[in-house]
Structure formats: structure tokens, C-alpha cells
Chains A and B, each alone.
Chain A
Amino acid sequence: MKITRKHFLQLSGVSLIAVIAKRLVRGTAKVSTSEGSAKKTRWGMAIDLQKCRQKEGCSRCIKACHAAHNVPQFADRAHEIKWVWKQPFEDVFPFAQTQYSRDVLASAPVLLMCNHCDDPPCEDVCPVGATWRRDDGIVMMDFHRCIGCRYCMAACPYGSRSFNWQDPRPALSVINPDFPTRAKGVVEKCNFCEERLARKQVPLCVEACDEKALVFGDLEGANSEIRKVLRSRFALQRRPELGSRPSVYYLI
């Protein structure tokens, strides 16, 4: 069949309308779906160091976390497993002190845990994708996939990850049946209690603290409690110069 000029112009016109119509339909569909997922969350924590120091030697948060997550206690420090722990102020913030504050602050304990970085170095180096940043900001681990190469431990600037050099079960006197233990040869770290967040509960360390030194919330929510605290108080992040953008803040 020979195509006449008139026929050709008709065909082009119809195709043009079809393309535009498709674009319009796609565009409206995209808007309607993005409205549903527009509410982004980024979980974060602010730790009030003054309140944390109030009760000397308090480790309720650490005990609560480690009991619930089946974190073993080994006598040998080389085998230590830790999700939440303490370190002296001068080790954590060596440049945030003066010669006069040093006397008071140097040995003051600072509560540490996984920073759940916005740009986690541990995720970049994991060769098997066993650790990744979730959409809500939690740096998650899949113990099933971990092959125990410990690249993540080398990459983490905060020492937040521990390696199971031995089977942790014999070292656990009580096992919480709701959380798995780990196997020998697997890395582990704080998971911001993602299993509790799924049930709309705050992390255990936050709940366990009587002094209310830990504020947990959504860093993306402009009116969340944590954002209010971070607006009103001076806060530090651990090693911000590295650009990993931690989600854990320290109120000085």
C-alpha cells in the first residue's frame, strides 16, 4: 500500500497524541505513588552525657541490650563482643576538651554503639552484601550472609563491630529465644533494635535508662523530640571529618 502525504500526517498525529497521553498517565501515577512513600524516616539517637554520668557505674542500658540480643561476655578481652559499651571521654572526643576540662572529663565514660552512618564505610567494603543501609537509616546486618572476612571491622572508624572468634552459646547463661544467637565466624553489631522498631517500640537501651539520657527518634521529622533536643543543645558526632555522617549525637 502506498502511503499518501495525508495518511502519513494522520498517522504521525495519532502517534504523537498516544505518546503524550502515555506520559500524562505515567506522570500522574508516579505522583500518586510518591505521595505514599514521601514520609522518609531516619532513625537517630541523642545521648545526653551529663545525664548519663549522673549515676556512676550505671550500665543498665548495656545489660538490657546484651541480655536481649544474646551478646556473650568473654573473660578474654580479645574475644570481646559488644553492641553498646563505654569508653573514656578523651578517647572518644580527643579534641573536644581543654586543658582545664581534662581533669574532670578525661575518665568520664561515654556510651558508644553503632553510629548507623548515613554513608556507612562498612557497607562499601562488604564483599557479600551482608550489611547495608536501610531506607530508614538503620545499618542492617544479615548474619546468614556474613562470611567473617572482617573487612567491615577494618572499615568501621568507630570500632562498632565485633567478631565471634568462638561459639557464643556456651558463654550465655540465659538465651533469649526471640533473638538468634550468632555462629562462630560471624561479625555482629548494634541493630538499633530494629526488631523492636518493627513493633513500634523504642530501642531497649532507651527504655532501660532511668535518667532518660537517651533520646531516640526520627531525624527527618522536623518536630520530633530528637530534633528539638538537637536544636536546643550543642551536640557532637563522632569523627564528623570522615564524612560518614553518624546518626548518633552526643549532647555535651
Chain B
Amino acid sequence: MNDRPFIAAGLIVFVAFVTTPIWHGAAARSVALAAPEVKLPAQEKQCVAPVNYMRASHMQLLDEWRTDVVDAQKRQYVAYNGKVYDKSLTRTCLGCHGSRQDFCDRCHNYNGVAALNCWQCHNDAPPGGRNAP
């Protein structure tokens, strides 16, 4: 029973050591994570779908577009607001977003997403036709 103070002291040291990260975090001021620096289109304010949907599900949309164009020959996309777009990655998406390095890649790199390599075949940065439908 004479060891009681030693055991208590040891425990306190141990708990203090194990919880260092918490104290460290509490001591440092809370830091917000830097958001990915994507370059947004200058003129156009509205995408083919609401921003939240595009952020979460643009890959599904692109997959549907691909199937529609190649398999079903449906090349026009009627957006939720009634606007009609061509289902074209190069013309429609990059028409507003400019280059994939400034938009797609930045967010993908930030999130550590290994996206399909669209640009192996699809053309990046179309000359001239940036604002084609």
C-alpha cells in the first residue's frame, strides 16, 4: 500500500502523455482547412445542374452523357432550368470551365481522387470554341 503515491503519479503522467494531441490542439488556435483553388468561369454563373449536385455527382452525369451520346444518339441535354446543352465534354464543360488543369485537376488533386483519364482521348482546351453551346 506504500506504493500508492507512485502509482497515482505514474498514472497522471501516463494520461497526460497519451492526451498530448488534445492539449496540443486546444493550445493551438483552430485552423480551417484550405479549400481547393478552382478557377471558376468568369461570365457564366450557372452550370448544367445545381452546384451541389455537380459537386457530388458530376461523374454520374458525365457517365450518363457518354452512354446517351454513344449508345442512344441523344446529344441534347435539357437542364433542370429548361436550358438545352450539347452533351460534350470538350465543348460544353470546358466551354465554360476553360482548362482542366485549372478546374478538374485542382479539385481532384486536393481530394486525392484518382479520376478516370478522360483527357487521354478527349481534347482539352479547344481553340476558339470556348463559348460554344
Contact count A vs B, C-beta below 8 Å: 34
- CB closest chain-A residue, reference B94: A177
A142-B70, A144-B66, A144-B70 are contacts. A181–B75 as well, Cβ < 8 Å? no
Interchain CB contact (< 8 A) of B90 among A178, A182, A183, A198: A178
**A194–B73 Cα gap in the complex (Å)?**
9
Residues in A with CB closer than 8 Å to B117 are 183
Interchain CB contact (< 8 A) of A177 among B70, B120, B129: B129
- 0 or 1 for each of B31-75: is its CB under 8 Å from A? (1 = yes): 000000000000000000000000000000000001000110101
- CB closest chain-B residue, reference A132: B71
A177-B127, A178-B90 are contacts. A140–B121 as well, Cβ < 8 Å? no
**A178–B88 Cα gap in the complex (Å)?**
9
Residues in B with CB closer than 8 Å to A198 are 73, 75
Assess whether B91 is interfacial by the CB under 8 Å rule: yes
Residue pair A181, B73 in contact (C-beta under 8 Å): no
- 0 or 1 for each of A142-162: is its CB under 8 Å from B? (1 = yes): 111000000000000000000
A142-B70, A198-B75 are contacts. A182–B121 as well, Cβ < 8 Å? yes
- 0 or 1 for each of A185-207: is its CB under 8 Å from B? (1 = yes): 00000000010001000000000
Residues in B with CB closer than 8 Å to A143 are 121
| Residues in A90-144 with C-beta less than 8 Å from chain B | 134, 140, 142-144
CB distance from B107 to the nearest CB of A (A): 22
CB distance from A177 to the nearest CB of B (A): 4
- CB closest chain-B residue, reference A136: B73
What is the number of residues of chain B that contact chain A, defined by CB distance less than 8 Å? 15
Interchain CB contact (< 8 A) of B120 among A134, A176, A178, A183: A183
CB distance from B3 to the nearest CB of A (A): 71
- CB closest chain-B residue, reference A142: B70
CB distance from A35 to the nearest CB of B (A): 21
A177-B129, A178-B91 are contacts. A183–B71 as well, Cβ < 8 Å? no
Residue pair A142, B71 in contact (C-beta under 8 Å): yes
CB distance from A106 to the nearest CB of B (A): 40
- CB closest chain-B residue, reference A183: B120
Interchain CB contact (< 8 A) of B121 among A134, A178, A180: A180
Interface of A is mostly: loop
Assess whether A175 is interfacial by the CB under 8 Å rule: yes
Residue pair B122, A180 in contact (C-beta under 8 Å): yes
Residues in A with CB closer than 8 Å to B123 are 175-178, 180-181
CB distance from B123 to the nearest CB of A (A): 4
Assess whether B126 is interfacial by the CB under 8 Å rule: yes
CB distance from A8 to the nearest CB of B (A): 50
A142-B70, A198-B73 are contacts. A177–B90 as well, Cβ < 8 Å? yes
Residue pair B126, A177 in contact (C-beta under 8 Å): yes
A175-B123, A180-B122 are contacts. A140–B90 as well, Cβ < 8 Å? no
A177-B123, A181-B123 provided; 7 other pairs, C-beta below 8 A? A167-B120, A176-B123, A177-B91, A180-B121, A181-B120, A181-B121, A198-B75
Closest 6 CB pairs of A and B: A177-B126, A180-B121, A177-B123, A183-B120, A142-B70, A180-B122
List 27 A-B residue pairs with CB atoms under 8 Å apart, sorted by A's residue number. Answer: A134-B73, A142-B70, A142-B71, A144-B66, A144-B70, A167-B120, A175-B123, A176-B123, A177-B90, A177-B123, A177-B126, A177-B127, A177-B129, A178-B90, A178-B91, A178-B123, A178-B126, A180-B122, A181-B120, A181-B121, A181-B123, A182-B121, A183-B120, A183-B121, A194-B73, A198-B73, A198-B75
